[in-house]
Amino acid sequence: MAARRSSWRFPVVAFVIWRLVQGVTLVAMGGSALPSLSEWDGEWFARVLRHGYVPVRGSYQPTAFFPLLPWTTRGVQFVVRSELLAATLVTSVAALGAVAAVYGITRRWRGEATARVAVVVLLVFPTSLYLWQFYSEGLFVALSAGALLAQERGRPALAGAVAAGAALTRLPAVLLVAALLAGHLQRRRRLEQSMLWYGLGVVGLAPLMVAQALQAGSGLAFASAGRAWGRQPSSPWRPIATAVGAFVRGQAAGYLGLPLDLLAAFLLLAAVVLIFRRTWPWSARTLLATSVAVLLCSGLLTSMSRYALTAWPAFPVVADRLVVAPRRVQVVLVVASLFVSLFVLRAWADRTFVA
């Protein structure tokens, strides 16, 4: 038992070091070590926090942003009486939860060594700063990985309840239901009444629908709100072809986002191939494959390097290969990722990461 408690120190210590290093680096570059409520999508989540889903002028609407992050922040704000402090507490706890949950589920899947490497891969990923910004990625990873971990421990009711929370972070969270069903069938080899608990991952959308019906006039406003940003169903190769065309025409010059987004897309595709070439639980396979499919069929690659975090089973898959890789390969990949991370942090501090 003591050894088990000791093993959990690794993700906690790794999280603290990562958070301090990123915070100090951002401050040194002229940025802020605190989550921003005025940067890009963070401003939209802040609007939901302050005004709910009241419509605004223009085609861009807050209904595209799911409410668990702002709602949780509002509850914490009621206690601490500070919006920024509440946002910092919520995003920090969510990020720590994400790291711990990925560590926990990977340890169940592949053992201690791979779990530790998965944590390192997640934290050194160039866009890991989104885990503690005022964005929903941290909450999504924490809850979706937590739901799979609850299922692995034979607690379907808890898995369903956590999946319901995930449904209030991002729409692709409904894919978690399919992953939970696949994992349950693989472990139990039969249909059981307890599987009904996983349906909470869809039922969890109900509070969102009620809020948007009352405040925005339509309980399904979230389903089409992303079109204003150019997100709509497409073939999976269309966004990649568009991004490659931008490179050929020289439209990607000076824009850090597009190269990272294209690289993230290829890395995710590679992870999908790897997860089916080796023995992995069907819960992991289902969640990764469906998540990548949704990302690639959204019409464009914009922010793919950020959304790659939501396809988090890719990190354990990469870690599983790195554990057996030569030490020099491990070092080169980690150093390269950290090097790219410096450019991402620089661009974030300069407000130039998003074109």
**Rounded Cα gap, residues 333 and 121, in angstroms:** 9
Residue 246 lies in a domain: yes
Per-residue confidence at 252, pLDDT binned at 50, 70, 90? low
Residue 303: inside a domain? yes
Region 260-277 average pLDDT? 91
Least confident range from 68-82, 118-132, 225-239, 303-317: namely 225-239
pLDDT at 40: 86
pLDDT number for residue 91: 96
- How much is the pLDDT for 5? 58
Tell whether the model's pLDDT for residue 326 goes beyond 50.
yes
Q: How many domains does the chain have?
A: 1
The more confidently predicted of residues 313 and 305 is 313
Whether the CB-CB separation of 179 and 283 falls below 8 Å is answered with yes
Q: Is residue 253 part of a domain?
A: yes
Residue 224 lies inside a defined structural domain of this protein: no
Structural domain containing residue 283? 234-324
List of residues 6+ apart from 238 with CB closer than 8 A: 299
Domain annotation covers residue 109? no
For the entire predicted model, the pTM comes to 0.92
- Residue 251 inside a domain? The answer is yes
What confidence score (pLDDT) does residue 355 get?
43
- Residue identified by tokens 């554990």 is 323
CA 7 to chain centroid, in Å, comes to 24
> Between these two residues, 259 and 198, which has the higher pLDDT value?
198
As a whole number, mean pLDDT of residues 173-196 equals 91
Question: Residue 241 falls within a domain, yes or no?
Answer: yes
Q: How far apart are CA 86 and CA 77, in angstroms?
A: 5
Cβ-count burial 244-280 (b if 16+ within 10 Å, e if not)? eebeeeeebeebbbbbbbbebbebbeebbebbeeeeb
Whole-number pLDDT of residue 250: 64
- For the segment 88-99, what is each residue's pLDDT rounded down to a tens digit? 999 999 999 999
Check whether 6 has a pLDDT greater than 80: no
Asked, for residue 126, whether it belongs to a domain, the answer is: no
